Structure 1
Amino acid sequence: MKPAERALSNRKAFEVIQNQSNDSASRVNLFKVANRYYNMNLLNDYKETVNAVLKKSVESRDSISLSKAYDYLGDYYQKESFPDSAFLFYNKSEKIYSLKNDFVKLAQVRLNKASLQFSAGDYYGSEKNVFNALNSTKHIKNNDITYDSYNLLGVLYNEQGDYDKALEFHEKAVTSIDDNYIPVEFQSKATSLNNIGVVYLNKQDYLNAEKSFKEGLRQRLVNKQKPIVYAMLLDNLGYAKFKMKDTSGLPKLFYKSLKIRDSLQLTAGIIASKLHLSEYYIANNDKVKGLQYLKEVLATAKKSGNARNVLVALKQLSVLEPQKASVYSKSYIRINDSLQKAERKMGDKFTRIEYETDQVINENQALSMQNRTLFYVFSILCLIGLFFYSYKSQQIKHRELIFRQQQQVANEDIYNLMIQQQNQIEGIRINEKKRVAQELHDGVLSRMFGLRMSLDSINQINDDDASKKRTVYLDELKNIEQDIREISHDLSKEKSELINNFVTILDKLLEDQKRNFETCLTVAIDRAIKWENIENAKKINIYRIIQEALQNSNKYAKAQKIDIVLKKQKNTLVLTIIDDGIGFNIRQSKKGIGLQNIQYRIKECNGKFEINSDTNGTVITIIFPIKPNKHNLKNYDV
């Protein structure tokens, strides 16, 4: 069956199951549909199906299906490269598996969390979750999880430079392989032999590395069942030979590996192969070819957002091209700092997710205990009498209502409060406009219409001069009547939308500026900007930047005129603020708190800015991307 036919068949199955009654069989079948979508790499359909079964699980209070749905959503976000969201859902799933004592699934979800933490550079958190996974299954024979745990620990310790410990766990991984639990076609042994060889490479024990890679290549059908592992073994074997100055099979091994990785579109693998080819050709005095591969690595790494490989390429380029060494070094330092900050931020986020999830569980348990206590009190009061029952019942309802109100208030943020306030103001304005419109229409227009009818009847007198004058008056009255009608209609018309109230809030800031300062303020805002599609944090930062710029102009610039232009250009918002004040020295003012605040907010929005200032005035131009990037690190300029 063709992929399109399989997808259509799966969609029909989903629609049939979705309309069935919400029982355990229908939820199991929905998971089967989700699995098919995942295997077809139709991730949006996969997510839709998982959300459907999640909703059914909540409605039926099926905690087993609920934990499985959370687990599936974690897989979705991991596949889509949203590690924080994946970690959140894995964490939710883990809590339910723990309560249900489902140790196998508990261990697997902890391994998933550990993999996310390892990829984000949170090695301590990753190590902790791997050992938690092993503890979950210490009384259960499950070599699948045991192998994955030992393998991840070996990779983790290798990354930290603890090579002896890395070898210890990789050897344990090989020992734990059992064909009854891990299918042979997974090529687990070949994978571990490759990992062991990599550790020996890092230890500069190239002879043992070569032996390990060769043994991995001797594994039956590894080239067909696991071409990814096969390509790694070829490339690493070539590199071990190169380090031992053994030229047999070189550079053929590198090119063979690169061809496989190209065919599979393995970006990280392609980068690794080209790095080895670059090093090989440079060592063989072919600097031109080596430099060519190195620049290809840099371009590919930038495009894929692989910051670590960008750093490797920059480091080697600074040696090969000393005339550009300072430029490469600056880029290296900038990217390395950004990478460390991103890793720390992601590690903190993982910790915060675990803490907040535990906190919610504790609060739910406390609330559950409180509800049980209230129920017991309620039951006792029922026995005492109807009066006390009624009184206590009302008291409990009132207490619950206050609790819900306090919880709702606590969850509101500053921006939503501003929106709510502006909605109230706008509602009052609309009601007032309607009232004025009604007064104009029912009062003034009626009287003027009567006056026009009277003049029209008088106009029957056959006096030419009088008739001409009356005609002029009548025409004028008709014009006035039309003007008032148009005003009435305009006042009655409500705005179709408030653009998420952001423009209205911004208008109030600008009105305050005009009212409180003599400076001539000119504003041009592109009203076609879809503010509802722009995140609140970015809108608040734009508001604060304009507020800060106006304050600086009022306080220091002595400006007579300020121009503010906010418009959309392709996938960006461009904010330009111009004043004709006395200007300032940009270099001396960089340490000022006002300019630092603006720079910080622009950085928060991933924006770019430019300031030009002289005695004729100041021009600030800021560009914000409308759509946030998936990755924090990409598009590095050298």
Structure 2
Amino acid sequence: MSIQSQTQQNLYKIDSIHNVLKNNKTFDSIYIAEEHYKIGELFRKSLLVDTAYYYYQIAEKVFRKYDYKYETAITLYGISVCQKNNKDFTGSEVTSIESLTLLNELKESKEVNQYKAYNYNNLGVVFNELGLFEESIKYHQLALELKKSLEGDFERSIGLSENNIGYAYKAVGKYELAKEAFNRILANKGLVANYPDVYVLALGNYAHTLYLLREFDQLPSLYLNALEICSEAGLEYNSIIIHQHLAEYYSHKNQKDSALYYAYKAKDISEKYSNDDLLKSLLILSEIEEKDKAFMFLNEYISLNDSLQKAERAIRDKFARIRFDTQRVEQENIQIAKERMWLLILSVVIIITSLLLYVVINQRNKNKELQFIQKQQETNEEIYNLMLSQHDNVEEARALEKKRISQELHDGVLGRLFGTRLSLDSLNMNNSVEAINTRSQYIDELKAIEQDIRKVSHELNTDFVSGGGFMDIIKTLVETQTKVYALDYELKQDDTINWETLPNKNKIHIYRIIQEALHNIHKHAEASLVTISFKLKKDVICLTIKDDGVGFDVNKAKSGIGLKNMNARIKDIQGKITITSEKEAGTTVTLKAPIN
């Protein structure tokens, strides 16, 4: 049966006893004391130690008052176990001795000797916890001898005593004696079926003794066998120490992954049951993990250890107060509840404040990010405007130069030609047929030259600036870059694209992507020809940049800064970029950018 289900059953029994006492006012004091003792026992077995202690105290006072020595002795034994479980080892020792003193005054019987054995066992555990291992072994042996003399089924209890003796031998470093003690338990094969928890306990301790002796032949199979029994018998709690020992074993074998697996498993299970086991699991993790994680678990270990020590001191103090004044303890419990409530309120306030602070800081960071994006957009606009301005300046200079040449042709050359023609006209006074024909030919020729020069002049004077724009900037970029990179190029444009309606941000990103692509072709492709083409398909600008270089494996290529920048730019304009390549077959970069 699991610890949770056993606890639930005990709580039902407690409610039943409370109801009986509440509904019948005629019970005498001894009967009420006995019922309080039963409630204390149930709470102790449910691991609710401080509550058990409270009911034991009520029962003890009545039993002492009426000089019920046996009842007082067994109640004191319950109190001593509560004290031991809360690490009040000195108090537990004193209470156990007092219980034994009362039992020794009584006539020997099975029940008296049984509780003597229980007290000896408790003293053995207490001295083991205090590090007095020789004393621990002595009391465990006294408990074992008494249990063996008792009639009835004490197989489980005897097995626990033998395990405690082996554990004490192991703790003091007498490993061979420890092995003998554990082997005596393991020789009883009936324990696996009847009391698997005792068998697993002994098997795990035996395996750990072999580990301490560095006898690894049977490891880790013994540990794994113990885990298998735990799993089959539903002994999850008993598996904690097995997982801890496996973590230590694999850590010693430098099998870190396995060590971490069992260490984390021990920690996860410990969190359900025992702070002491959790404390040891945290310490193991701090020794196995590395750097930051090790430091984190060490801090958790220290924090939990401090917390447990404080809690243990608080409970020991509470036990002392209960002994002298139960009512006062109740009042102090109310005060503790109030303090916990205030602590809860304070914690909630701190959490809410932290949450609000986080929201404010997060919002501020988002605002800064938005401001940065806005500033970046403004910078892109400014860059593009500067590019347009530079392009307009160049085109304006070209127009001025054309105009100057036109004026020179018109005012200079045409003027002189016109004068010559007039002179030839004046020579027409010679009326000879030959002269007239010759002069007429020259005049016609001059007229033709005049028309040709006039036509050139008008063409030069035409304003070509209106034809300039984004594609001129792109053409200038491609011409300049390919010349530097020693590349031939083909630039194909789509006249249906109205670049004036496209936001400047989009043009900047397209410009930079082409620039980066040309740079990558020069750096990696070993190409001789690059083809750049624009197409408009369903309000989507399709840009294709293709080279005849060596190509590469797209799946294995690392994403460098240039490619990341290209992806970031196309993402910013809600576009899509695709790169296809084959070795020795060139590379094609396809960009799709919506107009809107």
Band of TM-score, shorter chain: 0.5 to 0.7
User: 2:34 aligned with 1:68, yes or no?
Assistant: yes
- Between the aligned partners of 1:167 and 1:411, the Cα distance in structure 2 is 42
- Between the aligned partners of 1:609 and 1:69, the Cα distance in structure 2 is 50
Counterpart amino acid of residue 174 in structure 1? L
- Between the aligned partners of 1:330 and 1:50, the Cα distance in structure 2 is 45
How far has the Cα of 1:263 moved from its partner? 3.3
Counterpart amino acid of residue 273 in structure 1? I
User: 2:85 aligned with 1:119, yes or no?
Assistant: yes
TM-score of the pair, normalised by structure 2: 0.54
Could you tell me which residue of structure 2 aligns to residue 163 of structure 1?
Answer: 133
Q: Would the aligned equivalents of 1:143 and 1:178 in 2 still touch at CA under 8 Å?
A: no
- Between the aligned partners of 2:333 and 2:282, the Cα distance in structure 1 is 43
Could you tell me which residue of structure 2 aligns to residue 91 of structure 1?
Answer: 57
Q: Would the aligned equivalents of 1:190 and 1:217 in 2 still touch at CA under 8 Å?
A: no
SS in 1 for 2:325: helix
User: 2:101 aligned with 1:135, yes or no?
Assistant: yes
- Between the aligned partners of 1:411 and 1:239, the Cα distance in structure 2 is 47
Greater RCO between the two (CA within 8 Å, min separation 6)?
1
Gaps of 5+ in 2: 362-596
How far has the Cα of 1:198 moved from its partner? 0.4
How far has the Cα of 1:92 moved from its partner? 0.6
Could you tell me which residue of structure 1 aligns to residue 483 of structure 2?
Answer: none
Q: Would the aligned equivalents of 1:190 and 1:219 in 2 still touch at CA under 8 Å?
A: no
SS in 2 for 1:249: coil
Q: Which among 305, 314, 319 is matched to residue 282 of structure 2?
A: 314
- Please say which of residues 94-103 and 159-168 is displaced more in the overlay: 94-103
TM-score of the pair, normalised by structure 1: 0.50
Call closer, same or farther: CA 1:63–1:166 in 2, change over 3 Å. Answer: same
Gaps of 5+ in 1: 4-37, 361-409, 416-534, 546-572, 576-601, 618-638
How far has the Cα of 1:285 moved from its partner? 2.8
Q: Would the aligned equivalents of 1:158 and 1:166 in 2 still touch at CA under 8 Å?
A: yes
How far has the Cα of 1:318 moved from its partner? 2.3
Counterpart amino acid of residue 98 in structure 1? R
- Between the aligned partners of 2:215 and 2:181, the Cα distance in structure 1 is 16
Cα displacement string for residues 416-445 of structure 1 (whole angstroms, at most 9, x for unaligned residues):
xxxxxxxxxxxxxxxxxxxxxxxxxxxxxx
- Between the aligned partners of 1:127 and 1:157, the Cα distance in structure 2 is 8
How far has the Cα of 1:287 moved from its partner? 1.8
- Between the aligned partners of 2:208 and 2:332, the Cα distance in structure 1 is 57
- Between the aligned partners of 2:174 and 2:321, the Cα distance in structure 1 is 41
- Between the aligned partners of 1:414 and 1:352, the Cα distance in structure 2 is 14
1:387-426 mapped onto 2 (5 Å cutoff): none
How far has the Cα of 1:130 moved from its partner? 0.7
- Between the aligned partners of 2:169 and 2:6, the Cα distance in structure 1 is 36
Could you tell me which residue of structure 2 aligns to residue 52 of structure 1?
Answer: 19
Compare CA radii of gyration and give the structure with the larger one: 2
Q: Would the aligned equivalents of 1:94 and 1:110 in 2 still touch at CA under 8 Å?
A: yes
- Between the aligned partners of 1:342 and 1:413, the Cα distance in structure 2 is 14
Q: Which among 170, 176, 179 is matched to residue 210 of structure 1?
A: 179
Cα displacement string for residues 497-542 of structure 1 (whole angstroms, at most 9, x for unaligned residues):
xxxxxxxxxxxxxxxxxxxxxxxxxxxxxxxxxxxxxx76666678
Q: Would the aligned equivalents of 2:240 and 2:270 in 1 still touch at CA under 8 Å?
A: yes
Could you tell me which residue of structure 2 aligns to residue 278 of structure 1?
Answer: 247
How far has the Cα of 1:122 moved from its partner? 1.0
SS in 1 for 2:354: strand
Counterpart amino acid of residue 78 in structure 1? R
Residue-pair matches, total: 352
- Between the aligned partners of 1:132 and 1:197, the Cα distance in structure 2 is 27
Call closer, same or farther: CA 1:81–1:240 in 2, change over 3 Å. Answer: closer
Q: Would the aligned equivalents of 2:244 and 2:284 in 1 still touch at CA under 8 Å?
A: no
User: 2:213 aligned with 1:244, yes or no?
Assistant: yes
Counterpart amino acid of residue 144 in structure 1? Q
How far has the Cα of 1:41 moved from its partner? 5.6
Call closer, same or farther: CA 1:612–1:238 in 2, change over 3 Å. Answer: same
SS in 2 for 1:184: coil
User: 2:578 aligned with 1:610, yes or no?
Assistant: no
Call closer, same or farther: CA 1:124–1:204 in 2, change over 3 Å. Answer: same
How far has the Cα of 1:187 moved from its partner? 3.0
- Between the aligned partners of 1:48 and 1:99, the Cα distance in structure 2 is 27
SS in 2 for 1:250: coil
Identity, in percent, stands at 26
Could you tell me which residue of structure 1 aligns to residue 71 of structure 2?
Answer: 105
How far has the Cα of 1:47 moved from its partner? 2.1
How far has the Cα of 1:201 moved from its partner? 1.1
Cα displacement string for residues 292-332 of structure 1 (whole angstroms, at most 9, x for unaligned residues):
1111112222233x222222222222222231232222212
Q: Would the aligned equivalents of 2:148 and 2:158 in 1 still touch at CA under 8 Å?
A: no
Q: Would the aligned equivalents of 1:53 and 1:69 in 2 still touch at CA under 8 Å?
A: no
Call closer, same or farther: CA 1:411–1:225 in 2, change over 3 Å. Answer: closer
Q: Would the aligned equivalents of 1:231 and 1:261 in 2 still touch at CA under 8 Å?
A: yes
SS in 1 for 2:104: coil
User: 2:332 aligned with 1:332, yes or no?
Assistant: no
Counterpart amino acid of residue 322 in structure 1? E
Q: Which among 92, 104, 114 is matched to residue 144 of structure 1?
A: 114
Q: State the Cα RMSD in Å.
A: 3.5
Cα displacement string for residues 170-190 of structure 1 (whole angstroms, at most 9, x for unaligned residues):
111122225445x23443322
- Between the aligned partners of 1:107 and 1:414, the Cα distance in structure 2 is 31
Counterpart amino acid of residue 231 in structure 2? D
Q: Which among 177, 184, 203 is matched to residue 153 of structure 2?
A: 184
- Between the aligned partners of 2:15 and 2:100, the Cα distance in structure 1 is 33
- Between the aligned partners of 2:66 and 2:143, the Cα distance in structure 1 is 28
- Between the aligned partners of 1:265 and 1:315, the Cα distance in structure 2 is 26
1:573-588 mapped onto 2 (5 Å cutoff): 575=349
Call closer, same or farther: CA 1:613–1:574 in 2, change over 3 Å. Answer: closer
- Between the aligned partners of 1:313 and 1:193, the Cα distance in structure 2 is 26
Counterpart amino acid of residue 76 in structure 2? R
Q: Would the aligned equivalents of 1:54 and 1:65 in 2 still touch at CA under 8 Å?
A: no
- Between the aligned partners of 1:348 and 1:173, the Cα distance in structure 2 is 30
- Between the aligned partners of 1:321 and 1:199, the Cα distance in structure 2 is 30
Call closer, same or farther: CA 1:126–1:206 in 2, change over 3 Å. Answer: same
- Between the aligned partners of 1:412 and 1:245, the Cα distance in structure 2 is 52
Call closer, same or farther: CA 1:168–1:40 in 2, change over 3 Å. Answer: closer
- Between the aligned partners of 1:340 and 1:199, the Cα distance in structure 2 is 24
Counterpart amino acid of residue 122 in structure 2? L
Q: Would the aligned equivalents of 2:237 and 2:269 in 1 still touch at CA under 8 Å?
A: no
How far has the Cα of 1:97 moved from its partner? 1.6
Q: Would the aligned equivalents of 2:76 and 2:95 in 1 still touch at CA under 8 Å?
A: yes
Call closer, same or farther: CA 1:242–1:574 in 2, change over 3 Å. Answer: closer
Could you tell me which residue of structure 2 aligns to residue 323 of structure 1?
Answer: 291
1:220-369 mapped onto 2 (5 Å cutoff): 221-304=190-273, 306-324=274-292, 325-357=294-326
- Between the aligned partners of 1:148 and 1:413, the Cα distance in structure 2 is 31
Could you tell me which residue of structure 1 aligns to residue 410 of structure 2?
Answer: none
- Between the aligned partners of 1:323 and 1:106, the Cα distance in structure 2 is 55
Counterpart amino acid of residue 130 in structure 2? Q
Call closer, same or farther: CA 1:302–1:413 in 2, change over 3 Å. Answer: closer
Cα displacement string for residues 163-219 of structure 1 (whole angstroms, at most 9, x for unaligned residues):
1110111111122225445x2344332221110110111112111110110012224
Call closer, same or farther: CA 1:218–1:104 in 2, change over 3 Å. Answer: farther
- Between the aligned partners of 2:81 and 2:333, the Cα distance in structure 1 is 34
Cα displacement string for residues 552-597 of structure 1 (whole angstroms, at most 9, x for unaligned residues):
xxxxxxxxxxxxxxxxxxxxx955xxxxxxxxxxxxxxxxxxxxxx
How far has the Cα of 1:268 moved from its partner? 3.5
Cα displacement string for residues 223-251 of structure 1 (whole angstroms, at most 9, x for unaligned residues):
33322111111111111112222234322
Could you tell me which residue of structure 2 aligns to residue 556 of structure 1?
Answer: none
- Between the aligned partners of 1:414 and 1:270, the Cα distance in structure 2 is 38
Q: Would the aligned equivalents of 2:226 and 2:242 in 1 still touch at CA under 8 Å?
A: yes
